[in-house]
Structure 1
């Protein structure tokens, strides 16, 4: 059987000396305390002098310990303040980001409200409007520039009817379904819109380029009076669009005409109004008096 690991201190002289010294110090401390207690009762003044001497003797050590404690406390306070500042900084950054998001949302909501107010005002100005609906989607990269409107034939929509927004002409109805309709945008390459310059009624044609702009060609070949900033509106020719609807603004001049930016960008238009097909008086007369009838009258 293995011997136990615990050995009595008596087997070690060093341990015996340590125990003896601790006992001796304890006894001396008790005796010294008892003597001081007796002195305090017998001679209070003498004890006060001894206490003063002890305080003076311990003053440097007490001062050193006090300064060390103060430095330690200040260092702890500084570390705590650093971490508190970092935490508050993170909270402020998070709060700032949240406020920025709320500001952007409020700004977008305000813009949407302003757009709807302009649309309602436009609807009041056009008493014969057929429907007002949301533009559900639009092609952004396709060769054809077509948008989808959230109303269809159930609401009286027919192909050819103009679609406009407060910003200007969006396009015309291309196809209709029961609850949706496809809109051929002004910027489509197959769409040709009769326009005129708003300042002097100079006639021209605006043909879509498929990239949000239109190619503007004056009717009078050989002249190019356009300049940047010219506003183009519908002329009413052709009997499709009513006159005076904003279409585009000239952004640069070309050799034969100009390039214009479409005002009613479908990416920024949320709602639109559908108008009835505009028929000018001359078009109405032609429809009421076909060419065959005119030829018969001339033959008689």
Structure 2
């Protein structure tokens, strides 16, 4: 039933809005979709994990925004650097009035608070690894985020079995737009059938103009071995293109026994595999970027 969760926070001016957006991006939030209308403007920011936490008892240091981080010291340095960069006179900046020192809590964690814009205070905290399980509060896996903001995609879709592939295409576009992609950043390439998908995907990947490629098609088993021959080559070609170019390719080519099975997988009963392929593509782009950051930080 529940689709998403967002906490709406209003700023007093457009300048405050821009400053807070800059601060959140600097501290490590993932930018999402934005809007700019006559009556208002807004920006969505994502975190790897979110939820509603109910607390019984006093937690006096928490501000309206409580943000768990993997390293409170790194977050503190990022906040301090942003405050200095934002100040017109860094040498006269009274940093202690905007940023509290990192302090211990009575529940085995460390925290600090920062007020980048008057009236908008944030608390950043992390578990103290010296007093608790070293892995508590820390990610044990690198995972991609589900935000397509700023990413470019190509969708390669076959015309053969269009009653199915058109539904897959609609699902893929829906998945990208819901995740923050812009219409202008989604390119659609139509090919005659599934056999032609790998060649088109490889050409696009070698151009290097997109972050990921979503392949969509539909093969329905007939009375001959033609089905197996086509499927094996399509799967091999898409996989080889991904491995040799380094551009993520998501696999949305259906292989079904009957037309009914294909319709079910194109949104009738079993979800839309085009939507799923789009989500997989954007997650792999995000993961690739994070792995590149991990590699760079390790050097």
TM-score (normalizing by structure 1): 0.20
Considering fraction of residues, name the structure with more helix.
1
The structure with more radius of gyration: 1
TM-score (normalizing by structure 2): 0.20
